[in-house]
Chain A
Amino acid sequence: MNIRTPIDRARRSLVRGVLAVMVAVLAPLKAWAARNNVAFDTKLLEEGIAAIGADGAIETDRIVFKAPDIAENSAIVHLEIQSLLPQTATIWLFAEKNPQPLVAQFDLLPGLEPYVAVRIKMADSAFLRVVVKAADRFYFVRRETKVTIGGCAG
């Protein structure tokens, strides 16, 4: 494991600004993986957790989860997730009070740092939960984020 990237480094290195150039628009990739529809469709967090096989997940401080205490705008909540767990294979993100709590599943293949950042909508103040599968075991961390107005219209 090569864990040497603090979460705030991205912002600093952006200033150094090695910009990339666009070369081509490719045809979409064909090998789409199967979607866990049960996990994505359920309205209950517990069922979603069960559907990914993570009901025995252990709470850990080895997942760094940056989420706001109060969402500035519930339609665009910026989240950063970094796993410090060796052999991190999959990261799931749940928003407990959303109509379907499972927001995203990230399968990490060899060559990817165990880090993702994404912006999500939140229907209501809720615990956000990150579940990580690492070395075939499940771990989780959760954080409460408050919203003033729900961000799901649109």
Chain B
Amino acid sequence: MLAIVAVGGTAVAAPKDDLATMRSRFEQRFAGVPADDYGFGTFMLNRAARSHYEDIMAFPPFLGDIERGKTLWETRFRSGRTYADCLPAGGRMIAGNYPYYQPAEDRVVTFEMALNRCRAANGEAEYRYDDRATMGVLTAYARSLSDGMRMNISIDSDGAKARYEDGKRLFYRRIGQMNFSCATCHVNNAGNVMRMETISPAIGQATHFPIFRGGDTLYTAQMRFTRCMEQVRAQPFAIGGEDFNNLEYFHAYLSNGLPLQASVYRR
């Protein structure tokens, strides 16, 4: 069912194999679920919940936050320039290319880092990556300009592969008092109910951040990672730090080929 065309033409075999293995696992677990539905997370598994999701999304309670993000996006820097002048393609249909590996710096660049780099390049102070009122709403709007683009994470060099492998290591590493890894829940137990919550599969998760939990509380991907780590009683990594950036790189790759949609309601 997950007949997603491999994107990016990568020369490195291993990430593709990782993804193929995970896809085939979920295809068996969630037989009959169309590939593109993975972006809906657990809403792909329950018709009533999906219907509720669509009712909320028809006029979501967080529209005010998106509009605040749009204002930030459109406000000119002191240089007179805007984010659209700074990002490729005016910032449209690009979010699915992030995070990407930047060889010159030998590091992963997230979409939020790219926004902050626009700010820095135009003489503005960078936003904190954990600040909902600035970076949160800005990225909520900016990512919506890529709605419908298909996730297109590229792992095309040894340096990129090394960052991917680091993210993968963190994804599978058991941590915290509960001794869980990301994979414990979102690979091995995807679709199962734990603490009254149905667990979403890792594939598809990266397509729709930021999310508004409960319809009003914004979480970027890395803020959500933080929450996961707290729930397994682990000390969370720093938001915007290299551990989370590499984890996000691996995690985003798992959604390759799936359509983006920002921002969405989640429970």
Contact surface of A with B, Cβ cutoff 8 Å: 10-11, 14, 68-73, 75-76, 78, 119, 148-149
Number of interface residues of B (CB under 8 A): 14
Q: List the B side residues contacting A69 at CB < 8 Å.
A: 48
B8 contacts chain A at the CB level, 8 A cutoff:
no
B48 CB contact (under 8 Å) in A11, A70, A119, A149? A70
* Given contact pairs A14-B58, A148-B196, A149-B196, A72 touches B53 in the complex (Cβ within 8 A): yes
Are B214 and A75 closer than 8 Å at their CB atoms?
yes
Q: A61–B196 Cα gap in the complex (Å)? A: 33
Q: List the B side residues contacting A78 at CB < 8 Å.
A: 52, 55-56
Q: List the B side residues contacting A11 at CB < 8 Å.
A: 54, 58
Q: List the A side residues contacting B54 at CB < 8 Å.
A: 11
Q: List the A side residues contacting B55 at CB < 8 Å.
A: 78
Are B196 and A68 closer than 8 Å at their CB atoms?
no
8 Å CB interface, B87-130 against A: none
Q: List the A side residues contacting B51 at CB < 8 Å.
A: 68
Q: A53–B267 Cα gap in the complex (Å)? A: 38
Q: Show 22 residue pairs from A and B whose CB-CB distance is below 8 angstroms, ordered by the A residue.
A: A10-B58, A11-B54, A11-B58, A14-B58, A70-B48, A70-B49, A71-B52, A72-B49, A72-B53, A73-B214, A73-B267, A75-B214, A75-B215, A76-B56, A76-B61, A78-B52, A78-B55, A78-B56, A119-B56, A119-B61, A148-B196, A149-B196
Max chain B Cβ within 10 angstroms of own Cβ: one of A70, A71, A73 = A73
Q: List the B side residues contacting A119 at CB < 8 Å.
A: 56, 61
B215 CB contact (under 8 Å) in A70, A71, A76, A148? A76
8 Å CB interface, B9-24 against A: none
Q: List the A side residues contacting B52 at CB < 8 Å.
A: 68, 71-73, 78
Contact surface of B with A, Cβ cutoff 8 Å: 48-49, 51-56, 58, 61, 196, 214-215, 267
Q: List the A side residues contacting B49 at CB < 8 Å.
A: 68, 70, 72
16 additional contacts (CB under 8 A) given A76-B61, A78-B56, A119-B56: A11-B58, A68-B48, A68-B49, A68-B51, A68-B52, A69-B48, A70-B48, A70-B49, A72-B52, A73-B267, A75-B215, A76-B56, A76-B215, A78-B52, A119-B61, A148-B196
Interface of B, secondary structure class, is: helix
Q: A11–B59 Cα gap in the complex (Å)? A: 10
Determine how close the nearest CB of chain A comes to the CB of B216; give it in whole angstroms: 9
Are B58 and A72 closer than 8 Å at their CB atoms?
no
Are A76 and B214 closer than 8 Å at their CB atoms?
yes
Determine how close the nearest CB of chain B comes to the CB of A73; give it in whole angstroms: 5
Q: A27–B127 Cα gap in the complex (Å)? A: 38
Q: A70–B215 Cα gap in the complex (Å)? A: 17
Q: A150–B22 Cα gap in the complex (Å)? A: 35
Max chain B Cβ within 10 angstroms of own Cβ: one of A11, A68, A72 = A72
Q: List the A side residues contacting B196 at CB < 8 Å.
A: 148-149
Determine how close the nearest CB of chain A comes to the CB of B56; give it in whole angstroms: 6
Max chain A Cβ within 10 angstroms of own Cβ: one of B55, B61, B214 = B55
Q: List the B side residues contacting A149 at CB < 8 Å.
A: 196
Q: List the B side residues contacting A68 at CB < 8 Å.
A: 48-49, 51-52
With both beta carbons as reference points, the residue of chain A lying nearest to B51 in the complex is identified as A68
Q: A78–B196 Cα gap in the complex (Å)? A: 20
Q: A69–B47 Cα gap in the complex (Å)? A: 11
Determine how close the nearest CB of chain B comes to the CB of A124; give it in whole angstroms: 14
Q: A72–B196 Cα gap in the complex (Å)? A: 11
With both beta carbons as reference points, the residue of chain B lying nearest to A11 in the complex is identified as B58
Q: List the A side residues contacting B267 at CB < 8 Å.
A: 72-73
Q: List the A side residues contacting B53 at CB < 8 Å.
A: 72
Q: A78–B50 Cα gap in the complex (Å)? A: 12
With both beta carbons as reference points, the residue of chain A lying nearest to B267 in the complex is identified as A73
Q: A36–B54 Cα gap in the complex (Å)? A: 34
Are A73 and B58 closer than 8 Å at their CB atoms?
no
With both beta carbons as reference points, the residue of chain A lying nearest to B54 in the complex is identified as A11
Q: List the A side residues contacting B48 at CB < 8 Å.
A: 68-70, 72
